[in-house]
Amino acid sequence: SQTIHQWPATLVQPVGSPLSLECTVEGTSNPNLYWYRQAAGRGLQLLFYSVGIGQISSEVPQNLSASRPQDRQFILSSKKLLLSDSGFYLCAWSGQGYQPQHFGDGTRLSIL
């Protein structure tokens, strides 16, 4: 069966520090991968998606970037965190076609 791992579960970072969140998927190949942010009391905002290694599409301009160095690895990064980057970050994967997305357990990021 397929599983998705996302870490860390919680992270507290100072403003201006770098960020690296990692997500890996097991049990499938060539998944579509996604990064979402969920601000407190708000819905899901799609940040990035990827349909293959090295292929990254950005949905909104922001202080973050994403990379996909391997087929089942998706990384969310920032060089300098802003207060507005606080939130709950979710990684997800889907198969090809009109398939549901499957989510990781999320990372709670707090910026001080």
Positions that interact with another protein (CB under 8 A): 6, 32, 34, 42-44, 46, 49, 51, 57, 88, 90, 92, 94-106, 108
Euclidean distance between CA atoms 28 and 95, whole angstroms:
8
CA quadruple 67, 50, 42, 104: dihedral, nearest 10? -80
| Residues 80 and 111: beta-carbon distance below 8 Å | no
DSSP reduced 3-state for 14: coil
C-beta of 18 vs 30, nearer to another protein: 30
CB 31 to another protein: min, Å = 9
CB 97 to another protein: min, Å = 5
Beta strands 107-111; 87-94: pairing state: antiparallel
C-beta of 16 vs 52, nearer to another protein: 52
C-beta of 46 vs 62, nearer to another protein: 46
- CA 72, 48, 94, 5 dihedral sign is positive
C-beta of 43 vs 61, nearer to another protein: 43
CB 79 to another protein: min, Å = 26
